[in-house]
Amino acid sequence: MKEMEYTVEAGGPLLPFLLERVRGSRNHVKSLLTRGQVAVDGKTVTRHDHPLTPGQRVAVLAAPRPAAPFPVLYEDGRILVVDKSAGLLSMASDREKLRTAYRMATDYVRQSDPRGRVFIVHRLDRDTSGVLLFARDEETKRAFQDQWDALVRRRGYLAVVEGRPPREADTVRTLLRENAAHKVYSVRSGGKEAVTHYRTVQSGSRYTLLEVDIDTGRKNQIRAHLSELGCPVAGDKTYGAAADPLGRLCLHAHELRLTDPFTGEERVFRAEPPRGFRSLTRPGR
């Protein structure tokens, strides 16, 4: 959080003054006081009821940034947005409870606030890297989850695929079903609708880089659709890939664009493409 400074225009207690100006929950704002991150006219103040008088300057000081186990794309009092690595679960499963993005994000926020928490808003598949958003309090979690489909403007992915799709750009719309082996495939009836848009960014002799957008968030949707087009995601042996050139699934959630449920502002979070995506698909390679 950057340092912010405000001028007092009307007298009153400190806490309500901060609540009107600082982004985040009430608990977050109170924790700023507890940790000594608020100063009035240059002097640290921790009392919630500290009286303010017109003309005073109130500063909210930046906390020392703790070390993060992943790239932090954005954070404030309400949300934490990270670049999740491939091979990391978003949240715990029956087999894996400790090494998850959720657990690592919790440990990260507790470095600066021992009572800090994060809440799952959405998920990425274990083998998909990229933008993952957590809420910092239950109110924010509910605000995002209750309106997720309405709030999300874009879920953009980059995929390196084997070969080339049949068209430079197209939309795939099918019904998807999951079998007993947890593999997803298209069916004529009895499945859930999945819509995937793609366009070609660049092509090499063996691999193609695609920009992919999804209107629906079905499990393994992109992987299933691209495989059925005859161009499976590189490294995706489950869905028919022949090779594993980067030692990982070559699918990356590079952009999440949504509306802030509290302010109505558009928020855009981006994660840089993983190393190797462009070199694999360089023309002439």
Q: Which residues are catalytic?
A: 125
CB neighbour class for 231 (10 Å; exposed up to 12, middle 13-18, buried from 19): buried
Residue written as token pair 């507890």: 34
User: CA-to-CA distance for 240 and 228, rounded, in angstroms?
Assistant: 9
| CA–CA distances in Å: residue 242 to residues 211, 227, 231, 234, 281 | 21, 11, 10, 8, 16
Residue written as token pair 């002439």: 284
CB neighbour class for 42 (10 Å; exposed up to 12, middle 13-18, buried from 19): exposed
